[in-house]
Structure 1
Amino acid sequence: MATLVRCAMGYKPTGPKVAASSPEPTEAGVLPVYENEPAGERRPLLGDEAYSYQASETSGSETIAPSASSGALSFFNNPRVISDAVIGLSDGLTVPFALTAGLSSLGNTKVVITGGIAELVSGAISMGLGGYLGAKSESDCYKSALEREQKLLENSRGMSEEAVVEALTEFGFAPSTLNAILGDLEKNPEEMVTFMMKFVRGMEEPPIGREFTSAATIGLAYFFGGFVPLFPYFFVHTVQLGLMLSVILMIITLMIFGIVKTILTGNNSKWQALFGGIQMVITGCVAAGAAWGMVRLIDSH
């Protein structure tokens, strides 16, 4: 039964592999719940998490241990990091582009470079602080919800049990299986609280240091994204040439970013990816054109 509970919690076996046609029963005679996958590539039906249990051949006990691909997802494959990078780059590729285009109407490359760098620094700090506060709020929210679940389990165990049964019922478990799982969870209150947070409340514990990772990712993405439209002005003597090169560079960059962003969100359609690139180009050009026209209008008066 403990095996089934761990499968429901997202653990997967890394011990000896069992043929798909003849699965062996677990401790309580209940078969683990697996998706229909080839032998040797099984994974729990309820999730693909980063931990696995390994059976001890000497003692017959099971120990929870990180798998070879355990822990958090690798940094660059972490959906939260990708999300933060997209947020930073989206703003970094549009806001500074609009600013530099607007300042270029003043006809002085030094003004464009000085104003652009000042905006990059202040914008990166502001975006980084926003990312930090957002991740900190997420962490505080999780801790608060965790404390509520712990108190609910202590003061009203019946309500907690009902919530667990209701969550498991959605997966089609038989009543006898539900009672067995509930019995195992009751033996370990900490595991029961973890189960409730994940499957009942739908909340994942934020990684340690998430606040600083989010701040650094968003801030740096904004800075490097915003430096792209400013780059040509360092190598030209006339602001008109700098603006033309900046626009060409940004059209290419925005198109590539829009396509990559669409693909990273899981959309493999070529037309959708192309549409995402065109959408980013239109957004950046409209923002830059509006800023350029506004500064030009103000300067003319």
Structure 2
Amino acid sequence: MIKPPEQKAVTEPVIDILVGISDGLVVPFALATAVSRITINTMTVIGWTLAAIVVGSVSMALGSYFAAKEDDHDLTHEQHLMENLELEPEVVSAISEETKQGQQQWEELAAQYGLSPSFDAAKARNSAFNIGLAYAFGGLIPLIPFFFTASVQQGFKLSVISTAICLLVFGFLKGRYTSQNAINTAFIHILRGATAAVAAYVVAGLFT
């Protein structure tokens, strides 16, 4: 019997939202950092970053949906392959028994965490929608300061502060609800965001 790791009960949509927001904070922040270096117009920063948010959210949503569909396709393919192999009866019997036990254990584990043991198109669509929307929400966090400041420099400073705080918070929550070390996950998210922003800033500087 599979014994899942002890963790706080949480629904799949909550995990989707945490993943979407934490990922959505990184790329838009990095792009806003780059554009902030090459322009003094806040609307330019807003326009380019909004475009990145739209592209990123659509990409994340489609990627989530097709990844779920592909996983189900791989499992079905493996099942058909086993059926077509010419194996000894005792081998087939042993494999069938192990497969049956494994399937039962997976169904129990899936039921405990509210997951679907097989591909569920409706659930995959909902998950994709949640991730895409959450990514867009996360991407707006580093962008919002530019709407309310008179200069790019002021907006950028506030963007750094708000993004860093949110990366810590959502990184911590993501780690907590996915059975990882929450503090380590929070600092990893900060490191990801900082690394992406520094890289974008340096590259932008090469063309100014």
TM-score class normalised by the smaller sequence: 0.7 to 0.9
Distance 1:227 1:254 in 2: 13
Instruction: Name the structure 1 match of 2:114.
Output: none
Distance 1:289 1:242 in 2: 17
Instruction: Name the structure 1 match of 2:148.
Output: 235
Matches within 5 A, 1:83-94: 84-94=16-26
- 5+ residue gaps in structure 1? 1-44, 49-73, 168-192
Asked which structure has the greater CA Rg, the reply is: 1
Deviation at 1:290, TM superposition (A): 2.0
Residue 22 of structure 2 corresponds to residue 117 of structure 1: no
- 5+ residue gaps in structure 2? 111-116
Q: Structure 1: which amino acid aligns with 2:175?
A: T
Q: Structure 1: which amino acid aligns with 2:77?
A: S
What TM-score does the superposition give when structure 2 sets the normalisation length? 0.78
Residue 160 of structure 2 corresponds to residue 256 of structure 1: no
Change (3 A) 1:278 1:197: closer
**Deviation per CA, 1:7-29, whole angstroms, max 9, x where unpaired?**
xxxxxxxxxxxxxxxxxxxxxxx
Residue 36 of structure 2 corresponds to residue 77 of structure 1: no
1:161 to 93, 110, 133: 93
Residue 103 of structure 2 corresponds to residue 198 of structure 1: yes
Residues 149 and 155 in structure 2, CA contact (< 8 A), matched pair in contact too: yes
Distance 1:292 1:234 in 2: 21
Matches within 5 A, 1:77-226: 77-78=11-12, 81-82=13-14, 84-105=16-37, 106-148=39-81, 151=83, 158-165=90-97, 167=98, 195=100, 198=103, 204-226=117-139
Deviation at 1:253, TM superposition (A): 0.4
Residues 135 and 214 in structure 1, CA contact (< 8 A), matched pair in contact too: no
Instruction: Name the structure 2 match of 1:283.
Output: 192
Change (3 A) 1:126 1:244: same
Residues 88 and 219 in structure 1, CA contact (< 8 A), matched pair in contact too: yes
Deviation at 1:258, TM superposition (A): 1.6
Distance 2:150 2:122 in 1: 45
Higher helix share: 2
Q: Structure 2: which amino acid aligns with 1:108?
A: N
Deviation at 1:279, TM superposition (A): 2.3
- The higher relative CO (CA closer than 8 Å, separation ≥ 6) is in 2
Distance 2:105 2:78 in 1: 12
**Matched length:** 194
Distance 2:204 2:127 in 1: 34
* Sequence identity (%): 32
What TM-score does the superposition give when structure 1 sets the normalisation length? 0.56
